[in-house]
Structure 1
């Protein structure tokens, strides 16, 4: 009886650990809570709370218990990879937003006026930070966190514990997602980039017509005023585009899980 109890306890601990690994990776990539400036204790408590909620509904490990550290690693590493892939896929939308803001900020002339980004431990354009904060608001406004948590729960149904498959087609999937990220970034930054291009063309014509004007100095306030105007006019369309992309994310996560099963 004691041996049976020990085996049941080990099976429960193995299952709970695997669930915690998947959950922790998703929590790590959540907006706000997953950032470096968020307290580690808060993230840990959230991961533990979600794990406690999932333990009753996730089937326990029915296979043989690992007897060595190597066997344990073979079981746990695929679970870590699955959680990492889900989190990275979800994070690509925010990466596109920040890249678009960086492009737009450089075009407007805010390249010098950068601020420290505690998320990436690097200098980032003010416009990129503004875009990122706005994307977080849209994400929570359309219940994007529910989408990620739903994908987490669905992952245990589509890809049961310790049955993760890692096919070569994953490379093609992430290649398409990264390409979509860059395309999305260009689409977001396109209005400001187009406006700055037209502004530079107009200023070039003025410089040819009136050589006495120092166009280089005069272009700074013109670019900033024009850039901020375009920024304000396109925020509504930007929000609608983000909502569409977060909705698309649900399908991308589902496709990823199908590849991993």
Structure 2
């Protein structure tokens, strides 16, 4: 192969390189936000390798193309920025059910008074035990069940709904993402509601007992009762809580479909 043929071959690869770069720009925020594509616990090199592999798959096997050729570097930078914004929206929506699990667990630990800062002061960790436990439990249930292909398929099918460079940051898309964030926060509060009821019941019982027998000091038994009572309710209701969170995972496909429709 002489120099001219090599140069012509490299020039012919230009459109393919642009498509792979734009696919990577959309998938990169998703890989950093959604735990099903790595999330924050996965090493950066693994996430980047996964993004590159999926981008090559979308170009070679799925046949993703760019509607119009890129004329300048400035136009390419604008397309990359669009894909980054849309990928951030998709990653945020796909990660909301798992974030709801973490928010619910932190709400539970806040009410029970068993956060890692209070129970493990020498560990140097500021994470919530119940929050991290529910988060990883939901991720494990999704990966081991049949919901993982559902979410990943919805993310990849988005390339067919919203083509490369076709994303438009509309007001409807912003409001849709805001509504989904509010729904995830409401789910997190609903997850912690039974434990909140148990803790408030303990506080009410201790208040009535203190008024009935003021000479008895019940403040020292309040914290252990809330920790044990809340833990018992959490243990008994884990199945119901996971069903509520998995229902949110099931709704991701529809949420991404609506986002793709309003983002064009």
TM over 0.5: yes
Aligned residues: 257
- Aligned mate of 1:27, from 14, 25, 31: 31
Residues 29-70 of structure 1: CA distance to partner in whole angstroms, max 9, x if unpaired? 2327534342222112211221222112233224232323x2
Q: Does 1:158 align with 2:161?
A: yes
- Conservation of the 8 A alpha-carbon contact between 1:32 and 1:38: no
Contact 1:115–1:125 (8 Å) recurs in 2: no
* Partner of residue 19 from structure 2, selected from 1, 15, 21: 15
Match of 1:133? 136
Q: TM-score scaled by structure 1? A: 0.89
User: Deviation at 1:71?
Assistant: 1.7
| Counterpart position of 1:169 | 172
Normalised TM-score (structure 2) = 0.88
User: Once the 2 structures are TM-superposed, how far is the Cα of residue 148 of structure 1 from its aligned partner?
Assistant: 2.9
Aligned 1:62-101 pairs, distance under 5 A: 62-68=67-73, 70-101=74-105
- Counterpart CA distance in 1 for 2:97 and 2:242 is 13
Matched, 1:148 2:154: no
The farther-off stretch of 104-113 and 27-36 is 27-36
Distance 1:71 1:197 in 2: 58
Residue 213 of structure 1 and its aligned partner are, at CA, apart by 2.1
Counterpart of 1:235 in structure 2 is 238
For the residues of structure 2 that align with 1:15 and 1:171, how far apart are their CA atoms? 26
Distance 1:173 1:114 in 2: 39
Determine if contact 2:100/2:245 at 8 Å carries over to the other structure: no
Q: Find the aligned partners of 1:91 and 1:13 in 2 and give their Cα distance.
A: 29
1:89–1:177 CA contact under 8 A, matched in 2: yes
Query: For residues 177 and 70 of structure 2, what CA distance do their matches in structure 1 show?
Result: 33
The corresponding residue for 2:186 is: 183
The 1:12/1:31 distance shift into structure 2, 3 A limit, reads: same
Counterparts in 2 of 1:65 and 1:178: CA distance versus 1, 3 Å: closer
Structure 1 gap ranges (5+): none
1:25 and 1:84 in contact (8 A); partners too: yes
Give the CA RMSD over aligned residues. Answer: 2.4
8 Å CA contact 1:29–1:91 kept in 2: the answer is yes
Task: Identify the residue that residue 107 of structure 1 maps to in structure 2.
Answer: 111
